[in-house]
Amino acid sequence: MTKRAVFFDRDDTLIDNVPYLGDPEKVVLAEGARESLARLKAAGFLLFLVSNQSGVGRGWIRPDEVSAVNQAIVNRLGAPFFSKIYLSFAAPDDDPWGDRKPSPLLLWRASHEFGVALDRSFFVGDRIADVLCGRNAGCRTILLAAKEPKKEALRARRWAQSLADHIAPSLRAATDWILERVNRA
């Protein structure tokens, strides 16, 4: 397995977070998303979207609504950047498949299906579950710290900062850091 990949969380990483988003009209790309994905793709990375969508497991949104939102993301990006989109629909307290982040199962699937070398890959996300998912799979991790966490999430943010390989203020900065690591190798 020799292929490198970058795995991305969806909400508050590639798009602005709208809780339990089921309306594709509300998709707003994060600043620099298109440019960052294009740069990474040009550098030879496979790109994957990995997202917990617990609203489905909770009965608040339907799988077809999540699919419509993901298609809107692809359409707004203007290019088919993602090799595949991996989703967990499990609610936090009910994960029958064991694929909800921070489980590395979805990354292991990508590794198996696409020949991805996880130890040569990266995970970019905004939450502790993203950092742990990447670490659990053997990836280097980048925590996006663009937004100030809510008070109740501050402890989790501090924990994530202590575990992440890098903390980036933006998607562009995360991309720069990844490409610097690759260019050094």
- Does the annotation place 99 within a ligand binding site? no
Kindly name the residue from 11, 95, 99, 130 that is annotated as catalytic.
11
Kindly name the residue from 9, 95, 99, 130 that is annotated as catalytic.
9
Three-state secondary structure call for residue 170: coil
Structure tokens at 52: 């917990």
94 tagged catalytic: no
- Does the annotation place 23 within a ligand binding site? no
11 tagged catalytic: yes
- Does the annotation place 9 within a ligand binding site? yes
What is the maximum alpha-carbon separation in the chain? Answer: 47
73 in the Ramachandran plot: left (φ > 0), alpha (ψ -120 to 50) or beta?
alpha
> In angstroms, what CA-CA distances link 174 with 11, 114, 164?
16, 23, 12
**86: which DSSP letter?**
E
Residue set of the binding site: 9, 11, 126
Residue set of the binding site for Mg(2+): 9, 11, 126
Catalytic residues: 9, 11
